[in-house]
Structure 1
Amino acid sequence: MNYYQLSRNHFEDYGVTQNPVLPGHTSFLTGHVIHDTLPVLEFEVNYPDDVPLPHLFGNRVPLISPEMAGVMSSVGIDNFELFPALITNPISGKKWDNYLAFNVVGLVKAADMQRSSFDELMSAGIDNMETPLVAFREVVLIGEKLAGLKMFRMLESPDTLIVNETLVDALSENRPEDGWRVMVTDVDVS
């Protein structure tokens, strides 16, 4: 089984300029189910009116199109939650209300840290973290820890989203006219 990192397109000229205020300790990057009742989450972006939004973007709170979420569901990926979102360009006043805040449930310690390259952001042991928090330049996964998982976040780097070839193939087969406008990067498995 091949695995890939799925991420927002880092070459986009536009993005989220303001994230919503989340209640309490709510986080979209911990891999945990969100138990809080959330209001419609409001985001501000700097996308011009004539530039379509990508199908996956955002940072602290990822946003996903219903089309991409539907492709995920169609291949049996069910470890995610979706929450209503309202996206606004405050300069033009344009609003998008068809995107969803995207929470991936599942945080897996699966990186081969000896073979991966990364920058350490925080050492293990700080705030009771069992592994260092890193920003991967290149990630290598330990195959025996994957157990056929279709999608998960990395414990060592929670903003790193890993998917298997089933989803990548389905995205390729169901590519919208303007493309998904995401990045799909091969990940080595040891």
Structure 2
Amino acid sequence: MKRKTLTLTLSILACLALIGVGFAAWIISAEVSADPAEGSFIVDTVTDKSYKVEGAWLNSQSEITFGAPATMEGNPWLTNDSKDKKENLTVTYQLTVKYGDNTPATGIKDKIITTVSALADPNYTAAVNGGLIIAPTSAKVEETTTPGVYNITVTYQWGEHFGKVNPYTYYKEKTPTDKLNGTETTYMQDAKTSLETLSKIEASVKFTLSITVKK
């Protein structure tokens, strides 16, 4: 009895397997036409990011003047009677930067690289090496509130020889006949020599501001 039951069970499993295989072997196929689907093209826009630049000296001022302060007090032994040569150690070049499509180039302050130089001249070299003036090697770049407009400022300084202040301010605290430390040169003699060196720069030297706008 047990043997018959076992055989029946196996037969059912075998039959189910055959039916399953037979059903899986039927393949029904037919062509089906789908509704047309529209597609679209996506193309990146072309933006001209080349630069167009123009500029000018702010207030038409491009001259560095190693002159007297705007005001002088008291009755010092060193004076300056020039009316039109007052101290001016800073000039600013205003640069307008646009892209090729004429939109303002904003936020590129760090891409504006500057250098400041002057042609080799013995008087200029003497003034710098002698500590009469401090010559910059670059200019300060600042973005203005006007989109695409940048101020590029060149700043010279009085040198260590004058205590980094105007010669008038420096010498007025000195006695003209006193001698510079460790020398036989009086302050009066030193003032004459130093200021003559500076005066020769005006006729022979021009500085150059070079500007590069990097991509």
Q: Name the TM tier (shorter chain).
A: under 0.3
When normalised by structure 1's length, the TM-score is: 0.28
* Larger Rg belongs to: 2
More strand by share: 1
TM norm structure 2: 0.25
